[in-house]
Amino acid sequence: MDKHFHKEFKQCPCCGSEDRFFEQLCNELKAKGFAREEYHFHKEMKQGVVMDKTKIDAVPIGSEIPGYGFQTDICMNCGCVYAIDIIRNDAKKSVDVSSLIPPKLGAGPPTLPFSKS
- Give the tens place of pLDDT for each residue, 54-69: 888 888 888 888 889 9
The overall average pLDDT reported for the chain is 83
Q: Is the pTM of this model over 0.75?
A: no
Average pLDDT of the residues in 19-32? 94
Give the pLDDT mean for 34-47: 88
Distance CA 43, CA 71 (A): 7
Using alpha carbons, list the distances in angstroms from residue 22 to 26, 74, 86, 102. Answer: 6, 7, 17, 43
- Domain residue ranges of the chain, discontinuous segments joined by +: 6-95
Checking if the pLDDT of 40 tops 70, the result is yes
